[in-house]
């Protein structure tokens, strides 16, 4: 969609009328981006580098200015051609701004500065806020998806810590199935790469490609042969066993076959086909057979299927006293999995004495689409202006929405004893400022590698970052003790 690439009109129309609204003598404008709270207490920051490389490192052209003038004036909006000719002639078409940001992949509490922008040429003080629309969009979406994925990872880790002997397989336990459930291919790319910071499982190809293109990622994802209903239905209801046998035979060399079992009657398929006619074939499969219910109540069907498979194929009991299926078979649940249902599934497995390692999961729209900017109340606000050589701290403080009160002044981010705090710029040595310059005047100053994003996301954090989400899981033990 190249016709949308013009930076000058990748904004709200009204941005073009803002430059004369600043006080005379304005030289610099500084603004910042933060999550102002909302559904989650933390933010996993990710995605800015995509925007910098894809948009801000490409200069505007005279043709861009001509197109923008025609489009903007046609809408009845003011357009200052001289401003843009100045950027073209004085700065080679690159926006004269500097951007500082938190290292990507970092997880930190909400209401802290994540990005800070200031113009570098006093003649173009308006540039700071001009591209807010695109910049905020580039940050809020992948950071929100990354946060959803990270908190889901904390749920899975909690479940494994409670019921399994090892959490070594943590990064393989939540698959991204969201490509078809998002509003655009670009969303699939940004949300998909954000999920890959936390997990090594995805079928969202745009996300894999984005991680490689913008973050120098190597092998970041795994997938495997996975059935769909079209292929199974083609065999007809009377030959469901033939469809499954064919899949097991076809993908035995791959060592993986994720078999749909709800094409008709899930319980019958598990008990009488997987555990009946094809039981010996499943037991001797050279790898993993995934039994995949794709409908029904996610909590009950996941736990029921695990129990049926244990009745058929047996189980061992791990050191924590929980039952574990043989290594050749697992439940694969990808229907109805979302941020809220995932903890419920693990709680039910634990109540029944089943280890969390018996099931792996996939999320689709619940991972990449069920969120918006208000989920984490993302906003970009001006916090300081320099007028006639004097910096002024500025902020908004609306009476009708206290959470929209903004920060004042030029900002820095301090991390001391594991605690992040937004502080005035200059109050700490710049060497201690977590915000790092990443872009200036068309040039990338810091390039993050995908391995760095992963390492940042996996740093130890206080339990307070995720306890609200995993806390209910800790009530299961007390319930079990009472019932015992």
Same domain for 115 and 138: yes
Same domain for 305 and 163: yes
Same domain for 63 and 23: yes
In-domain check, residue 467:
no
Same domain for 10 and 43: yes
Q: Is the pLDDT at 396 greater than 80, yes or no?
A: yes
The tally of CA atoms less than 13 A away on the side-chain side of residue 356 is: 29
pLDDT tens profile 102-139: 999 999 999 999 999 999 999 999 999 999 999 999 99
Contacts of 42 (CB under 8 A, 6+ apart): 107, 108, 109, 110, 147, 150, 151, 461, 465, 466
Check whether 266 is labelled as a binding-site residue.
no
For position 1, what pLDDT does the model report? 61
pLDDT tens profile 44-74: 999 999 999 999 999 999 999 999 999 999 9
Neighbours of 111 (CB within 10 A): 17
For position 477, what pLDDT does the model report? 64
Average pLDDT over residues 246-272: 97
Same domain for 122 and 255: no
Q: Is the pLDDT at 484 greater than 80, yes or no?
A: no
With a pLDDT cut of 90, the percent of the chain lying above it is 94
For position 483, what pLDDT does the model report? 55
Average pLDDT over residues 9-13: 94
Q: Which residues span the domain enclosing 392?
A: 2-143+372-461
Structure token pair of residue 5:
């690439």
For position 234, what pLDDT does the model report? 96
In-domain check, residue 197:
yes
Check whether 294 is labelled as a binding-site residue.
yes
Q: How confident is the model at residue 403 (pLDDT cuts 50, 70, 90)?
A: confident
Check whether 373 is labelled as a binding-site residue.
yes
Q: How confident is the model at residue 313 (pLDDT cuts 50, 70, 90)?
A: very high
pLDDT tens profile 430-465: 999 999 999 999 999 999 999 999 999 999 999 999
Same domain for 358 and 381: no
Q: Is the pLDDT at 30 greater than 80, yes or no?
A: yes
The pairs formed by 429-438 with CB atoms below 8 angstroms and a separation of 24 or more are 434/102, 434/103, 434/106, 435/100, 435/101, 435/102, 435/113, 435/116, 435/411, 436/100, 436/101, 436/102, 436/103, 437/98, 437/99, 437/100, 438/48, 438/49, 438/52, 438/99, 438/100, 438/101
In-domain check, residue 468:
no
pLDDT tens profile 348-374: 999 999 999 999 999 999 999 999 999
Looking at residue 328, which CATH number applies to its domain? 3.20.20.70
Same domain for 174 and 45: no
Same domain for 283 and 391: no
Looking at residue 396, which CATH number applies to its domain? 3.20.140.10
d(CA 157, CA 470) in angstroms, rounded, equals 10
In-domain check, residue 159:
yes
Check whether 334 is labelled as a binding-site residue.
yes
Same domain for 137 and 115: yes
Same domain for 110 and 163: no
Q: How confident is the model at residue 338 (pLDDT cuts 50, 70, 90)?
A: very high
Same domain for 239 and 192: yes
d(CA 463, CA 467) in angstroms, rounded, equals 6
Q: What is the pTM of this model?
A: 0.95
Check whether 195 is labelled as a binding-site residue.
no
Average pLDDT over residues 381-396: 96
Q: What is the overall mean pLDDT for the chain?
A: 95
| The last residue of a domain, from among 337, 368, 399 | 368
Quote the number of domains for the chain: 2
Check whether 410 is labelled as a binding-site residue.
no
In-domain check, residue 418:
yes
In-domain check, residue 479:
no
Question: Between 194 and 483, where is the model more confident?
Answer: 194
In-domain check, residue 470:
no
Same domain for 401 and 262: no
Q: How confident is the model at residue 173 (pLDDT cuts 50, 70, 90)?
A: very high
Q: How confident is the model at residue 404 (pLDDT cuts 50, 70, 90)?
A: confident
Least Cα distance to 422 among 110, 140, 146, 208 occurs for 110
For position 398, what pLDDT does the model report? 85
In-domain check, residue 481:
no
Q: How confident is the model at residue 203 (pLDDT cuts 50, 70, 90)?
A: very high
């Amino acid at each position: 969609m190249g016709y949308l690439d013009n930076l000058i009109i990748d904004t709200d129309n009204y941005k073009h009328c803002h430059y004369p609204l600043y006080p005379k003598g304005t030289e610099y404008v500084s603004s910042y981006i933060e999550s102002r709270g909302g559904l989650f207490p933390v933010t996993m920051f990710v995605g800015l580098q995509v925007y910098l490389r894809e948009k801000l490192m490409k200069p505007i052209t005279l043709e861009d200015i001509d197109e923008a003038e025609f489009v903007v004036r046609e809408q009845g909006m003011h357009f200052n051609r001289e401003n843009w000719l100045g950027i073209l002639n004085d700065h080679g078409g690159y926006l004269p701004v500097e951007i500082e940001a938190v290292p990507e992949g970092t997880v930190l509490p909400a209401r802290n500065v994540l990005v800070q922008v200031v113009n570098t040429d006093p003649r173009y003080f308006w540039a700071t806020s001009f591209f807010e629309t695109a910049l905020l969009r580039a940050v809020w979406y992948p950071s929100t998806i990354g946060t959803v994925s990270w908190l889901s990872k904390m749920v899975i880790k909690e479940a494994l810590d409670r019921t399994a002997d090892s959490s070594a397989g943590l990064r393989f336990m939540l698959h991204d199935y969201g490509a078809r459930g998002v509003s655009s291919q670009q969303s699939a790319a940004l949300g998909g790469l954000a999920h890959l910071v936390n997990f090594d499982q995805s079928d969202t190809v745009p996300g894999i490609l984005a991680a490689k293109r913008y973050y120098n990622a190597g092998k970041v994802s795994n997938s495997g042969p996975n059935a769909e209903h079209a292929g199974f239905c083609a065999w007809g209801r009377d030959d469901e066993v033939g469809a499954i046998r064919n899949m097991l035979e076809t993908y035995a060399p791959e060592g993986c076959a994720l078999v749909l079992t709800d094409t008709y009657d899930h319980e019958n398929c598990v008990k009488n086909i997987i555990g009946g006619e094809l039981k010996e074939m499943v037991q001797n499969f050279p790898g993993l057979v995934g039994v995949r219910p794709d409908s029904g109540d996610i909590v009950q069907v996941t736990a029921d299927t695990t129990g049926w498979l244990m009745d058929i194929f047996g189980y061992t009991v791990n050191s924590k006293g929980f039952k574990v299926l043989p290594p050749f078979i697992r439940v694969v649940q990808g229907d109805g999995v979302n941020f809220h249902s995932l903890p419920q599934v693990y709680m039910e497995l634990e109540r029944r004495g089943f280890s969390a390692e018996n099931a792996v999961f996939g999320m689709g729209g619940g991972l990449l689409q069920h969120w918006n900017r208000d989920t984490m109340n993302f906003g970009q606000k001006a916090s300081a202006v320099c007028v006639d050589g004097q910096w002024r701290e500025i902020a908004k403080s609306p009476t009708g929405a206290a959470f929209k009160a903004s920060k004042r002044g030029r900002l820095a981010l301090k991390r001391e004893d594991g605690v992040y705090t937004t502080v005035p710029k200059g109050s700490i040595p710049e060497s201690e400022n977590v915000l790092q310059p990443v872009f200036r005047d068309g040039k990338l100053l810091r390039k993050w590698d995908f391995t760095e994003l992963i390492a940042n996301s996996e740093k130890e954090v206080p339990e307070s970052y995720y306890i609200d989400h995993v806390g209910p899981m800790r009530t299961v033990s007390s319930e079990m003790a009472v019932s015992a």
